[in-house]
Amino acid sequence: MRMFKDFTKGLWAENPTFRLLIGLCPVLGVTTSVVNGVSMGVATTFVLVCSSLIISLLKKVIPSGVRIPAYIVLISTFVTIVELVMKAFMPDIHSVLGVFIPLIAVNCIVLGRAEAYASKMPVIWSGFDALGMGLGFTWALVLLSSIRELLGEGKLLGYSVLGDGFTPWKIMGQAPGAFITLGLLLGLMNLIPIMINKFKSKSSKAE
Amino acid sequence: MELFLIFLGAAFVNNFVLVRFLGICPFIGVSTKFETSIGMGLATTFVMVVASTVTWLIQHFILAPFGIEYLQTVAFILTIASLVQLVEMFLHKASPALYRALGIYLPLITTNCAILGMAVLLAQGSYNLGESIIFAIGAGVGFSLALIILAAIREELEFADIPKPLRGAAIAFIIAGILALAFKGFEGLV
C-alpha cells in the first residue's frame, strides 16, 4: 500500500512538472517531437531510479557532511552511462537532445528525490518513489511534445495526422511556442482541482 | 569585433533562457521581486565567468590530453560545485558587503543548469580562453537581462486581475513566451 502511494504521488499529486515546477529546462527544450520527449523521459527515469536505489543503499555509509558532492558524483556517473549508451546505439536522438543529456545531472528532480526521499527511506520504497516521479515527468513531456508536434508540424510520432490542408504553426516548434504551451497547460492543471471542488460542493448541496 | 559578435550572440541571439531553455528554474523561481532578480543575475554572471575559465583549463589541459573526455560531466559538475563553495568562502572573507548581497543566491547556482550547460557548450565549441570568457560574460548578461525583465513585469502584475488558475508560474510562462517572441527579433543579427 505504501509503495503504491509512493508510486502514484509522482504521477499527479506531486507531479514534478505540473505541481512542483522543477526540472523544467528539458520540458521546454526537447519537446519539439514525441520521440524526443519519450527518450528524454526514459533517460531521466533511468538515472532517477538507479541513483535513488544506490543512494538509499548507501545512506548509512555516506557521511552527512559530504552527502551532496557524493550524490552529485553518483548521479553524474549514471548520466555518463546514459550518454555513452545513447551515443553508441541511438546517435540521431543523442545529437537532437544534445546538451540536455549531460544536464540530467543537474536536473532538480534527481537531486531533489535523493535528498528528500532516498537518503532517509528504505531501498524498495525509494525505487518506487523514483519510478513514479520519472513516469510523472515522462507523461508531462509526452503531453507537451504531442501538442507541439501536432500543431507545429501536423504530425504525431512522425506520421501525418492533420492532412495536407493544415498549415503548420511554425511558432510551436520554436521557443515562444514551448513557453506559452507550458503556461497554458499549467493553468489547465490548476483549473482541474478547482472544477472538481466546485462539482463536489454542488453535488453535496443537492443532497 | 569578433569578440563583440561572440558577446552579442551569447547575450541576445542565442539568449540562454529564452532561446536555449537553460536556467529555467531560477528564471521562474527568483523572478518575483525586482531587487532579488538583480542579485541573482549578478551572482550567476560572476560564477559563469569563473566557471568558464576553470572548465576551459580542465578541458584543454586535463581531459583532452589524457583522452578522458567521457568524464566531462562528472569533472565539470564537481568543479562547478566546489567552485561555488570556494567563491562563497572567498567572498565571505574578502568582501562581506558583496557576500551579503549575493551570498544567499550562491548555493542555488550549483544546480543552475545554465552553468553546466555553458561549460558543455564551450567544450563542444572551438573557442580559445579569451573568447570563452567573453561568451560567459554574454551568457551571464543575457540571463540577467531576461530575469530582470520578467521580474519587472511580474511586479506590475501584482495589481492585475489574472484568472485564478493562471496565477503564479502559469502566467509567468506565458509572459516568457511573449518575451521569447520579442527576442526572435534578434535572429540573424550575428
Q: Which of residues 55-94 of B touch A (CB under 8 A)?
A: 70-74, 76-78, 81-82
C-alpha cell at B120: 558543455
Asked if residue B111 has pLDDT above 80, the reply is no
Helix (H) or strand (E) holding A193: helix A175-206
Q: How far off is chain A from B48, nearest CA to CA, in Å?
A: 15
**Domain with A195 in it:** 2-202
Asked if residue B105 has pLDDT above 80, the reply is no
Q: Looking at the domain assignment, is residue A127 inside a domain?
A: yes
pLDDT values of chain A reduced to their tens digit, one per residue, 207 residues: 778 888 888 888 888 888 888 888 889 989 989 999 999 999 999 999 999 999 999 989 998 888 888 898 999 999 999 999 999 999 999 998 988 999 998 888 898 888 888 888 899 999 999 999 999 999 999 999 999 999 988 888 878 888 778 888 888 888 999 999 999 999 999 999 888 998 888 888 776
Q: How far off is chain B from A175, nearest CA to CA, in Å?
A: 6
Minimum Cα–Cα distance from B172: chain A residue: A183
> Mean pLDDT throughout B144-172?
91
Contact B164 A190 (CB under 8 A): yes
Q: Looking at the domain assignment, is residue A51 inside a domain?
A: yes
Structural domains in chain A (count): 1
**Measured between CB atoms, does A81 come within 8 Å of chain B?**
no
Listing DSSP states for chain B in one string gives: -HHHHHHHIIIIIT-TTTTT--SHHHHHHT-SSHHHHHHHHHHHHHHHHHHHHHHHHHIIIIIHHHT-GGGHHHHHHHHHHHHHHHHHHHHHHH-HHHHHHHGGGHHHHTT-HHHHHHHHHHHHS---HHHHHHHHHHHHHHHHHHHHHHHHHHHHHTTS---GGGTTHHHHHHHHHHHHHHHGGGTT--
Contact B173 A179 (CB under 8 A): yes
ipTM of the complex: 0.89
Contact A103 B165 (CB under 8 A): no
pLDDT of residue B39: 84
Q: Which of residues 96-155 of B touch A (CB under 8 A)?
A: 110-113, 116-117, 120-121, 124
Q: Looking at the domain assignment, is residue A207 inside a domain?
A: no
Closest CA to A126 of A43, A49, A13: A49
**Measured between CB atoms, does A108 come within 8 Å of chain B?**
yes
Domain boundaries, chain B: 10-186
pLDDT class for B182, splitting at 50, 70, 90? Answer: very high
pLDDT of residue A207: 64
**Measured between CB atoms, does A25 come within 8 Å of chain B?**
yes
Residues of B in contact with A79 (CB under 8 A): 73
Q: Which of A102, A105, A183 sits opposite B174 (nearest CB)?
A: A183
